[in-house]
Structure 1
Amino acid sequence: MVSDKSYSLFEIKKSHQKIIFVLLGLVCLSGFISPPIALLLGLIVANLSGHPFLYLNHKATNILLQVSVVGLGFGMNVNSALAVGKVGFLFTVASIFSTLILGYCIGKWLDIEKKTSHLISCGTAICGGSAIAAIAPVIKSDEKQTSVALGVIFILNSVALFLFPAVGHYLDLSQQEFGLWCAIAIHDTSSVVGAANKYGAEALQIATTVKLARALWIIPVALITASLFKNQKSKIKIPYFIGLFILAMMMNTFFSQTAIISPYLVSVAKIGLTFTLFLIGAGLNWKIIKTVGVKPLLQGILLWGFIAVASLASIMYFN
């Protein structure tokens, strides 16, 4: 997505960049910083001093996010998760396919390159960067097409992390309503969990469960995509860490011994998530934002607006 060269608005020595980055990283690991503030600190680092380890950023965020999500599973109950899954299933199916169809129409209307448009639609419909990473090899997109789609998703994710809790409190949404809403309407798992964690413990459990169940739709959507783009031989990346998340929930539900360490594992997972959002922010500099382009960003905003408003209206109506 990004080149190995760091970017900053000011000329700062590499050694000083590392010191600033490490110090702010330690602040985020302290446990006293909320996920939105961690993201904001990352954005500040990216645009003022630069990211000294940019070439490692994408891989580090993926690994840390997956480990953190598995850790959160130790704070959840299988029976509650199944109940939540039933509620979220119809919302998930309806929102995924309506978003994909609308994304295709908007892409044609704005005359956006076909593969870029499809990646943005899949990222909005399912689970952000993870969906784009899984679909990109299926359609054989080039680096620029993938980078533009990821850029759009990461920009909107950053906005969502601050916007959704504020809207939730303004509308006085319940924990269940907010958890379900952000799982459907926020793209990336990291921002979903970050926003829900800020809203409340019940919202966090609902949001994480529904979002990970939603992520499994990568598989059928990738198969449909392979057929549409006439590329049947492509390998599909399956999000295996979801299986570990389910295993963690089962251990927490059925093995009483796990309850002794579960609170500590969940606490560490939340800190890991906070640091993940710091890294995501640190990888989103102004140079990347400028390469996105107006039309792809407009497509992303329109799709995001549709899924956010439609899902919220549906949740409030049925509840």
Structure 2
Amino acid sequence: MNENVLKKSHSINVKPLFYWTGGVMFTFIIALLSFQVAKFPGFQYIGPLATAIIISIFYRQIIGYPEKIKSGIIFSAKILLRLAIILYGLKLNIDIIFKQGLGLVGFAIFSIVVSIVLTLVIAKWLKADLNLSLLVGVGTGVCGAAAIAAVSPILKSREEDTAISIGIIALIGTIFSIIYVLLIPVLPLTPDQFGIWAGVSLHELANVATAAAPAGEEVLAIALLAKLGRVFLLVPLCFILIFWKKRKQSGGTEDTKIHFPWFLVGFIAMSLVGSYVIGNIIVIPNEIISNISIFTTFLLTMAMAGLGLHVNLNALRSKAMRPFIAMVITSVLLSVFTFFIV
């Protein structure tokens, strides 16, 4: 009798951990597969993050959601996502922004305000889902997937909304970056102007690099600097959204409690470490820094796999189309506006 009780209690303790581990490993395998698939022609433009979302969505539609290992999948989609955002802070060199890029912050503010306001106005006109539209607006204005991942907890967005927003950003950003490359020979812009234009109007850091690299290293450097100005504004934007969300909810019957996004503190801390500690106080080989960057991207890819598994295409087909259209129109107008002001 006692042995049976012990066996039963042992199984109760072990099974949740087994399924949790299985869920994390499942997203790990999808991420690993995504990194390999992203090397194939066509997929190299959208990268491993969007590839992971595509694989996960197809898995969900064909095989179904793996309920037994749900706890591990949710861990990847939420906890690993926040950890990746913290490590993403190392990509933001605040010192460079203060010394060289403050003049570009005005362009960055313009880009973010135009992207969010235009997307929401067009979405309202199209009668699109406003939460989904706000996510793609933030992604368009700031830094793509990382920005969407950062604001999703503040907006209390559903996992499937977060995933589909990131998928939309990846698709449109890739198309626009290729168009920018094709336009290099025919545009009446100086190399510096093209770099600024790409940096303040394209969606992801990878999109900016794709568009600016063919124009030369100097153009790539100024384009990335302009883009970093937008990344720099991610944290103040998050606090503005917290304030807006609290004010909006305080006037209604919703739960007014919004959990402080502590991972943003980690993001700021990592930015400070990358800007003032690494290279000044502690010397870390470039190879290790590169590996940390790859590890960060891998964690984000695991998170995307977890988010993608929550997407039900049948339920989102009609819901996502109008925000998609709103974002396309916004992206075109943003490119046109910034072209004339640079």
Relative to the length of structure 1, the TM-score reads: 0.69
Task: Report how far residue 273 of structure 1 moved.
Answer: 4.1
Match of 1:221? 241
Code of the aligned partner of 2:272: L
Equivalences for 1:57-96 in 2 at 5 Å?
A: 57-74=76-93, 77=96, 78-96=98-116
Match of 1:306 in 2: 329
Asked if structure 2 preserves the Cα contact closer than 8 Å seen for 1:152 and 1:296, the reply is no
Checking the alignment, whether the CA contact within 8 Å between 2:199 and 2:224 is kept in structure 1 is: yes
Q: 1:86 & 1:235 partners in 2: Cα distance? A: 30
Question: Counterpart in 2 of 1:251?
Answer: 276
Give a deviation string over 1:232-259, Cα, whole Å, max 9, x none: 8432534324422541354069x7445x
Say whether 1:156 aligns with 2:165: no
1:9-51 CA-to-partner distances (Å, cap 9, x unmatched) read: xxxx99x9689548537869x9xx9683423652565335998
Unaligned runs of 5+ in 1: 1-5, 7-12, 111-116, 137-144, 187-191
The answer to whether the Cα contact below 8 Å between 1:95 and 1:307 also exists between their aligned partners in 2 is yes
SS state of the match for residue 42, structure 1?
A: helix
- Root-mean-square deviation (Å): 4.1
Match of residue 54, structure 1, among 73, 88, 103 = 73
Q: How does 1:227-238 map to 2 (within 5 A)?
A: 227-229=247-249, 230-231=251-252, 233-235=256-258, 237-238=260-261
Q: Do the aligned partners of residues 257 and 223 (structure 1) sit closer, same or farther apart at CA in structure 2, a change above 3 Å counting?
A: closer
Distance 2:111 2:34 in 1: 37
The equivalences for 1:196-207 within 5 A come to: 196-199=208-211, 200=213, 201-202=220-221, 203-207=223-227
Match for 1:163: what amino acid? I
Q: 1:316 to 1:227 in 2, by over 3 A?
A: same
Cα deviation 1:285-316 (Å, max 9, x = unaligned): 57714154233212211221122111100111
Q: 2:316 — aligned with what?
A: 293
Name the SS for the 2:257 alignment partner. coil
* Distance (Å, rounded) in 1 between the aligned partners of 2:285 and 2:196: 23
Relative to structure 1, the CA distance from residue 63 to residue 41 in structure 2 (aligned partners, 3 Å threshold; closer, same or farther) is same
Q: Distance in 1 between matches of 2:183 and 2:292?
A: 29
In structure 2, the gaps of 5 or more residues are 1-18, 139-146, 188-193, 214-219
Where does residue 140 of structure 1 map in the other structure?
none
One-letter amino acid of the counterpart of residue 129, structure 1: A
Number of equivalenced pairs = 279
Aligned ranges 1:13-24 → 2 under 5 Å: 21=30, 24=33
- Matched to 1:162, the amino acid is T
Q: CA deviation at 1:156?
A: 0.4
Give the corresponding residue for 1:128: 148
The residue aligned with 2:200 is 180
Letter in 2 for 1:63: R
CA contact (8 A) 2:93 2:271 kept: no
Match of 2:13 in 1: none
Q: CA deviation at 1:69?
A: 1.6
For residues 87 and 151 of structure 1, the distance between their equivalents in structure 2, rounded to whole angstroms, comes to 28
Shift of 1:104: 3.3
Helix, strand or coil: the match of 1:234?
coil
Give the stretch that moved more between structures: 216-225 or 286-295.
Answer: 286-295
Structure 2 counterpart SS, 1:128: helix
Q: Which residue of 2 aligns with 1:42?
A: 52
- Candidates 306, 311, 317, aligned match of 1:283: 306
Q: Offset of 1:70 from its aligned partner?
A: 1.8
CA-CA distance at 1:79 after TM superposition: 1.3
Q: Select which of 126, 130, 133 maps to 1:106.
A: 126
Q: For residue 5 of structure 2, what is the aligned residue in structure 1? A: none
Work out whether 1:274 is the aligned partner of 2:297.
Answer: yes
Give the distance between the partners of 2:228 and 2:149, measured in 1 at CA: 16
- 1:69, 1:20 → 2: CA distance? 22
1:72–1:281: structure 2 CA closer, same or farther, 3 Å change rule? same
Distance 1:288 1:175, change over 3 A: same
Contact 1:124 1:303 (8 Å CA) reproduced: no
Residue 190 of structure 2 corresponds to: none
What TM-score comes out, normalization by structure 2 length?
Answer: 0.65
Structure showing greater radius of gyration is 2
User: Secondary structure, in 3 states, of the residue corresponding to 1:94?
Assistant: helix
- Alpha-carbon contact 2:178-2:210 (below 8 Å) kept: no
Measured in 2, the distance between the counterparts of 1:277 and 1:209 equals 22
